[in-house]
Amino acid sequence: MKQVEFLHCILPFKDKLFRLAKRLLVSTEEAEDATQEILLKLWSNNSKIENYTNVEAFAMTMTKNFCLDRLKSKQAGTLKLVHSNYTDESRSLQNQLEVEDSLNWVEKIMEELPEQQKLVLQLRDIEEYEYDEIGKILDMQPTAIRVALSRARKTVREKLVEKHSYGIN
């Protein structure tokens, strides 16, 4: 694959790779390093990439595996799951604070989810992947994806309702 073809193939979804890495790793710097590492691996194997029908799913799977390996490594002592993809500058200060507080609660709740539910929620609701794409990335059956997503959403919803209605009965 020529350099220009490779770039046209990879560039459209490099931000998704970064967001997934950011979801799994603690800092922007860690996510940038992971994304760069994946792009280098893709570049060094670009002749093999031509054989894949869905390069994006392959790259997302590589990113997921790379980040999970990093989390399992000895360097993982300071890594944790975070999410900060959302900012909306058009809101009033109070609304911004409320949204920020809610997002912080969602982050905390997501940190407590089982790994599989966390990844399915990230890929479906944040990255907006289709079920078949998630199945390829996570090597899961569509039914298992739907169950994990349903459970993750239910847990997030219940904990948010519990947090917001605390003391109101």
Q: What is the pLDDT of residues 10-28, one digit of tens each?
A: 778 888 899 888 888 867 8
Task: Report pLDDT digits (tens) over 21-65.
Answer: 888 886 788 889 999 998 888 878 776 766 667 788 888 888 888
Domain boundaries in the chain? 3-77, 93-164
Question: So what's the pLDDT on residue 39?
Answer: 87
Q: What is the pLDDT of residues 129-141, one digit of tens each?
A: 889 999 999 999 9
The identity of residue 151, as a single letter, is R
Where residue 128 falls among pLDDT bands split at 50, 70, 90? Answer: confident
Length of the chain: 169
Selected from 2.40.110.10, 1.10.1740.10, 1.10.510.10, 1.10.1660.10, the CATH number assigned to the domain covering 3-77 reads 1.10.1740.10
Query: 139 in the Ramachandran plot: left (φ > 0), alpha (ψ -120 to 50) or beta?
Result: left
23 is written with which tokens? Answer: 């979801």
Residues with Cβ < 8 Å from 124, sequence gap 6 or more?
A: 131, 134, 145, 149
Q: What CATH number belongs to 93-164?
A: 1.10.10.10
Confidence band (pLDDT; 50, 70, 90) for 76? very low
